[in-house]
Structure 1
Amino acid sequence: MQSQIVSFILVFIVLAVVFSSFVTVKQGTIAVITVFGKYRRILTPGLNFKIPVIEAIHSKISIQNRSVELEFQAVTFDQANVYFKAMLLFSVLDQNEETIKNVAFKFVDERNLMQALIRTVEGSIRAFVATKRQSEVLILRREIVEHVKEQLDNILETWGYHLQDLQLNDITFDDVIMKSMSQVVASNNLKAAAENEGQALLITKTKAAEAEGNAIKISAEAERQASQLRGQGVALFRQEVAKGMSAAAKEMEQAHMDTSVILFTMWTESIKHFAENSDGNVIFLDGSTDSMQQTMKQLMSLNVMQQVDKGKK
């Protein structure tokens, strides 16, 4: 009976040892094996074998992406408080044995790793923001991220990690600063609106002046053309008058009549035209005999000159 019990115990121990020799490592995880506390090797995902009792699993390292939320404060060069809300995305650098050793043994535990990582990121951002003015911080998101990655890549590689992304989800200031910034934006908008209105008014005035100038040019050109046409009309009228007088003079010569009658008739017609179309009520004429003779001589002289010119042609 006792021998059966002992045999059962031995079988149980053997089975326990055999089953404990097989280790299952989940996908995305690497197990670190130590022998009496000293690093020995790593186990990849799947079913693995380890020496019972002698080899022990020190830790299991996740090689998947991990994220952590950050909230912290920084001070700008001009002593303004800036509040950040960020998301940090990191992962194990690679699956090489040396990298896994660094991840497993650089820090006492996961808590110390996260504390060091968060403080390092916050310190890098604070150092960068301390060199900038509060008015510059909002437009320097990308520069802040690039600065942090540049500063942390080498440090995190010695720990066996890689910073994949840093997202600054929110950047805020104290209420007083936020209010003053809003006022600055509002005043800039008003200034821009006033400048736009001034430009629009300037354009309107310029276009109106151009239109007025073009109208004056068009009017002047039209008046010039009208004057030219009026002159041409007067010239044509005079030519027709001259033709009519010449024809009348020929007929009177053929009838053996004095051509001076034509000039006298034109003179009397002119007086009649003045009387009909003048705005005044009185026409002053020199009706003396001497003046009449002088006028007739002038008209006859004009008639002779016209006949001479016609003979030359």
Structure 2
Amino acid sequence: MYPQIIIAVLLLLLIVASVFTVRQQTAYIIETFGKFSSIRHSGLQFKIPVAQKIAGKISLKIQQLDVIVETKTLDDVFVRLKVSVQYVVIKDKVYDAFYKLEYPHDQITSYVFDVVRAEVPKMKLDNVFVKKDDIAIAVKAELQDAMLEYGFDIIKTLVTDIDPDSQVKEAMNRINAAERQKTAAQFEGDAQRILIVEKARAEAESKRLQGQGIADQRREIARGLEESVAVLNKVGISSQEASALIVVTQHYDTLQSLGEETNSNLILLPNTPQAGSDMLNNMVASFTASNQISETMKQHKLENGDNTKK
């Protein structure tokens, strides 16, 4: 009874040891007594117990390795670049990937360092930012040629970060801030200039309209005076007397408007009761004298003209 149980247990252990499963996108390397035997892919697999063993596993998924490289640019600025390398093991070259290269990450890192430190020192800092795709292409080309022999395919390389020295970044930020302030000052100056020009135009237009208004006002006053003189002439009042009467009337109108202003400190002289009568007499005398002088000058010019003809 006991020997049968032992045999059954041993058979069960042998079956368990000979059966294994391989997950999707994974390859298992099988060795027989330490020598490569086969590569097994996803699914249920069998191996000879004791004689065969699983030597290793390799993922067939796309993997990513981030490499940080510190180097110096053409204008002597130290900069740190982060290069992301996406790679995959070629399904038909699992043997090469497992047996030819023990540390693929170190190999890829070495090539990235070599290419970046060869390309970046040829560029100024600004060009490093502009031509980061060129750096990535150069890294991929170098890695593709080198890693294909070991069973690795380089899918893509990306320069994901460019980090200059902290002092350089501060200087760049100050330069950018100064440029923005300069631009802002230019816009503010242009806006201020436009406001000044528009204000000057508005003032000029206001002055023009004001002058036009004053001219129209004086024109209407002159037309009104002319009509007033004509009306007074019809009732036997001479032009001199009519003009003096109109001026006196305006004088009293002015006094009346001043009297309506309670806070006015203006005093109009003369302001005695007989001032209106004296003003009227003086103005009539002045107009009469002015007319006499004008007539005398005209007569004198006529006489001089007759003598010249003789």
Partner of 1:311: none
Aligned partners of 1:241 and 1:272: how far apart in 2? 9
1:255-274 equivalences in 2 (<5 Å): 262=236, 265-271=238-244
TM-score, L = length of structure 2: 0.63
Provide the rounded CA distance (Å) in 1 between the counterparts of 2:89 and 2:125. Answer: 35
104, 111, 119: which one pairs with 2:110?
A: 119
SS in 1 for 2:122: coil
Output the amino acid matched with 1:63.
Answer: L
Q: 1:286 and 1:240 mapped to 2: Cα distance?
A: 17
* From 70, 73, 77, the counterpart of 1:76: 73
State the shift of 1:74 in Å.
1.9
CA shift for structure 1 position 118: 1.1
Q: 1:268 to 1:169 in 2, by over 3 A?
A: closer
Closer, same or farther in 2 for the Cα pair 1:267/1:241, shift >3 Å?
Answer: closer
Match of 2:95 in 1: 101
Quote the offset at 1:231 in angstroms: 1.6
Code of the residue aligned with 2:193 in structure 1: it is: K
In structure 1, how many angstroms separate the alpha carbons of the residues matched to 2:52 and 2:41? 15
TM-superposition CA deviations, 1:12-43 (whole Å, max 9, x none): 98777655443333444211345677765421
Q: 1:11 to 1:217 in 2, by over 3 A?
A: closer
| Structure 2 runs not aligned, ≥5 long | 252-267, 271-278, 300-310
**Change in 2 beyond 3 A, CA 1:195/1:78:** closer
- Alignment-derived partner of residue 208 in structure 1: 196
Query: What's the offset of the Cα at 1:46?
Result: 3.2
Q: Which runs of 5+ in 1 are unaligned?
A: 249-261, 299-313
- Residue 22 of structure 1 is aligned with which of 13, 19, 23? 19
Equivalence map 1:186-201=2 (5 Å): 186-201=174-189
> TM-score w.r.t. structure 1 length?
0.62
Match of 1:309 in 2: none
Tell me how large the CA RMSD over aligned residues is: 4.5
Q: Does 1:222 align with 2:222?
A: no
Q: Is contact 2:133–2:158 with CA below 8 Å preserved after alignment?
A: no
Could you say what secondary structure the match of 1:238 adopts? helix
Deviation at 1:85, TM superposition (A): 4.8
2:258 maps to which residue?
none
- Matching of residues 1-313 of structure 1 within 5 Å: 19-33=16-30, 41-51=38-48, 57-85=54-82, 88-93=85-90, 96=91, 98-107=92-101, 109=102, 111=103, 113-138=104-129, 141-163=132-154, 171-174=162-165, 178-239=166-227, 241-242=229-230, 245-246=233-234, 248=235, 262=236, 265-271=238-244, 285=286, 291=292
Amino acid at match of 2:212: R
The residue number in structure 2 matching 1:257 is none
Q: 1:243, CA displacement in angstroms?
A: 5.1
Q: Which amino acid aligns with 1:119?
A: S
Task: Specify the alignment match of 2:306 in structure 1.
Answer: none
| 1:223–1:79 distance in 2 versus 1, CA, 3 Å | closer
